[in-house]
C-alpha cells in the first residue's frame, strides 16, 4: 500500500478536495527493560519501519468520519467531538477518539471534526504497539491541523503523554509511557535508552555488526485490556508500599539489586516478592545491556536478553507456552546472541538477535518446532529500525 493508493482510498471514501494531509507513526520493539516503565525504570525500545498511516481532512462541523483499511467490515465509523463513549466504542476508533477526548481534558480544545483514513501494517495484538502508534498518529495529526488553543506548541513528548493518558483513562489500560514515547521519538538505526522516571533519554546507535533483529510473532493475539496487565501493575504497587516501610523510595526502580536484597524480607507474599524482584533486576539488566552494546559486546547483550525472558517467565509470569517455545527454540539455534519476549507478553512477539548467515535456518528451525508444538504457525520479520512520528508529504510525491 503506497501513499498513492492511500490517497485514492481516501478520495473514494470521503470525496475530493480540501486540504488532505498524511502522517506516519511506527510500531516499536523493546529490546530490553520490560515492565520497568510504570516502576520508574529504564527501557530500551526502537522504532520499526512497520507502522500506521493516517490521511485526514479537517471538516467545518464537529463530525468525525473514520475508516480503517484494516477493519473494512466496520465501514465508516461516524461520531462527533460531542460523543465520547470512554472506550465503549469497542472498535479501533477508541484510540483516535481517546486521544481527541484527552486533548480536551488537558485543555487543548478541538473545535472541528475530521474525515480520517487509517492503514497499518503492524500486526495488531502482536505486542508491537499498534495502539500506541495509532494514538500518537492521531496526536500529530491534531497538532498539525490546529494552530489555536496552544496545540501548535505541543512537543512530541507532550503528544506521547497525551497518548498514554488516553490509553489509561479512556481505553482503560494502565500502561506506562514506553510505547507512546518510543513511537513518537524513534530514530532510524538507533534505540532509545529512556529513563521513565523523568523522561530523560539518549539515542544509542544500534551497532549490531553482522547481527540483525528478528521478530517472531506467536500469532497468539491478546488485548491488554483483557490480559492480566493491570493486575501486574497493582501487584507492583503493593510490593512498593511494603518496601517503602523500610526505605524512602518513590518507585521500585529506585532500588538497586543490593538494596532490594537487603530489605526484600519485608514482602512476605511470594507472588509480590517475585514481581518486585523481576522489576529491580530487569532495571539493572537494562543498564548493563546498554553498556554492553556500547562496548560492541553482542554476546553479553544477548545473555541479558535471555535472562530477561527467564525472569518474565518465572517471576513476572507474563510469557506462556507460545512465547516460551519461541525463545527456548531460538536459544538452541546457531548464531543467536539472545532472545526474549517483547512488550506486555501474554502472546504477541519475541525479539531475537540473530547472525545474518543464520537467519534462514533460524526461521526454519523455530518455525517448524513452533508449528509442531503449538499447532499453528509463527511469523517472522527481520526488523527494519525506523524513524518516529512524522508527516508524509503527499504533495512532494505529486499525488495531489
Ligand atoms: C506494554 C505497555 C508498556 C509496558 C510494556 C511492558 O507494552 O504499553 O507501557 O509496560 O507493556 O514492558
Residue 19 CA, ligand 1 centroid: distance in Å: 36
Q: Ligand 1: distance of its center to the CA of 348 in Å?
A: 12
Grid cell for residue 132: 500506541
**Nearest partner of 312 among 335, 339, 352, judged by Cα:** 339
Parallel, antiparallel or unpaired: strands 336-342 and 379-382: unpaired
Could you tell me which residues come within 8 angstroms of residue 208 by beta carbon, excluding any fewer than 6 positions away?
298, 353
Dist. CA 379 → ligand 1 center (Å): 22
The pLDDT score that the predictor gives to residue 90 is 84
| Candidate of 343, 345, 348, 349 to mutate for ligand 1, largest count of ligand atoms within 8 Å of Cβ | 343
pLDDT digits (tens, 9 = 90+) for 86-131: 878 889 999 999 999 999 999 999 999 999 999 999 987 789 999 9
Cell of 259: 538494596
DSSP 169: I
pTM of this structure: 0.96
Whether residue 135 has its Cβ less than 6 Å from ligand 1: no
* pLDDT at residue number 125: 77
Name the residue of 29, 37, 253, 348 whose CB sits within 8 Å of the most ligand 1 atoms, as the mutation to test its pocket: 37
Q: Whose CA is nearest to atom 11 of ligand 1?
A: 344
Contacts of 279 (CB under 8 A, 6+ apart): 35, 36, 39, 41, 236, 252, 253, 316
Indicate the pLDDT class of residue 216, thresholds 50, 70 and 90.
very high
Ligand 1 neighbour 343 (Cβ under 6 A): yes
Ligand 1 centroid–CA 278 distance in Å is 14
- Whether the predicted pLDDT of 397 surpasses 60: no
β-strands 63-68, 77-80 pairing = antiparallel
Question: In the beta sheet, which residues pair with residue 79?
Answer: 64
What is the per-residue pLDDT across 173-210, written as a single tens digit (0 to 9) for each?
Answer: 999 999 999 999 999 999 999 999 999 999 999 999 99
175 lines ligand 1 (CB under 6 A): yes
What mean pLDDT is predicted for residues 370-377? 97
Is 100 in a helix, a strand, or coil? helix
Tell how far CA 61 is from the center of its chain.
33
Average pLDDT over residues 343-353: 96
Q: How far apart are CA 327 and CA 117, in angstroms?
A: 37
pLDDT digit string, tens, across residues 217-256: 999 976 665 669 999 999 999 999 999 999 999 999 999 9
How many Å separate Cα 85 from the centre of its chain?
Answer: 24
The mean pLDDT of 352-367, rounded to a whole number, is 98
Residue of 335, 398, 364, 393 lying closest to 144 (CA atoms): 393
Amino acid at each position: 500500500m503506497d501513499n498513492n493508493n492511500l490517497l485514492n482510498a481516501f478520495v473514494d471514501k470521503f470525496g475530493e478536495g480540501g486540504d488532505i494531509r498524511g502522517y506516519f507513526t511506527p510500531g516499536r520493539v523493546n529490546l530490553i527493560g520490560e515492565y520497568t516503565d510504570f516502576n520508574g525504570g529504564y527501557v530500551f525500545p526502537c522504532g520499526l519501519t512497520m507502522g500506521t498511516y493516517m490521511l485526514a481532512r479537517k471538516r467545518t462541523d464537529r463530525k468525525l468520519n473514520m475508516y480503517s483499511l484494516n477493519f473494512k467490515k466496520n465501514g465508516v465509523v461516524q461520531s462527533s467531538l460531542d460523543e465520547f463513549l470512554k472506550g465503549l466504542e469497542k472498535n479501533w476508533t477508541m484510540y483516535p477518539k481517546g486521544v481527541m477526548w484527552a486533548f480536551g481534558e488537558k485543555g487543548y480544545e478541538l473545535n472541528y471534526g475530521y474525515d480520517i483514513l487509517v492503514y497499518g501494517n503492524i500486526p495488531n495484538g502482536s505486542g508491537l504497539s499498534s495502539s500506541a502508534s495509532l494514538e500518537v498518529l492521531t496526536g500529530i495529526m491534531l497538532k498539525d491541523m490546529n494552530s489555536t488553543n496552544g496545540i501548535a506548541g505541543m512537543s512530541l513528548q507532550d503528544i506521547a503523554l497525551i497518548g498514554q493518558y488516553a490509553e489509561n483513562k479512556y481505553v482503560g489500560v494502565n500502561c506506562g509511557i514506553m510505547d507512546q514515547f518510543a513511537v513518537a521519538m524513534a530514530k532510524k538505526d538507533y534505540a532509545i535508552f529512556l529513563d521513565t522516571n523523568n523522561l530523560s533519554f539518549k539515542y544509542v546507535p544500534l551497532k549490531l555488526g553482522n547481527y540483525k533483529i528478528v521478530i517472531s510473532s506467536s500469532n497468539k493475539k491478546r488485548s491488554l485490556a483483557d490480559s492480566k496487565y493491570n493486575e501486574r501493575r497493582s501487584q507492583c504497587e503493593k510490593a512498593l508500599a511494603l518496601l517503602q516501610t523500610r526505605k524512602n523510595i518513590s518507585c521500585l526502580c529506585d532500588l538497586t539489586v543490593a538494596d532490594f536484597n537487603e530489605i526484600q524480607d519485608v514482602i512476605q507474599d511470594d507472588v509480590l516478592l517475585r514481581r518486585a524482584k523481576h522489576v529491580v533486576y530487569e532495571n539493572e539488566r537494562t543498564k548493563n545491556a546498554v553498556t554492553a552494546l556500547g562496548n560492541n559486546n553482542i554476546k553479553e547483550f544477548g545473555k541479558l536478553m535471555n535472562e530477561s525472558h527467564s525472569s518474565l517467565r518465572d517471576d513476572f509470569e507474563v510469557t506462556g507456552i507460545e512465547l516460551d517455545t519461541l525463545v527456548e527454540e531460538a536459544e538452541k539455534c546457531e548464531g543467536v546472541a539472545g532472545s526474549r519476549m517483547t512488550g506486555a507478553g501474554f502472546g504477541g512477539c519475541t525479539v531475537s538477535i540473530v547472525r545474518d548467515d543464520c537467519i534462514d535456518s533460524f526461521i526454519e528451525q523455530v518455525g517448524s518446532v513452533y508449528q509442531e508444538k503449538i499447532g499453528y504457525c509463527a511469523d517472522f520479520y527481520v526488523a527494519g529500525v525506523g524513524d518516529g512520528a512524522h508527516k508524509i508529504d503527499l504533495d512532494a510525491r505529486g499525488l495531489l
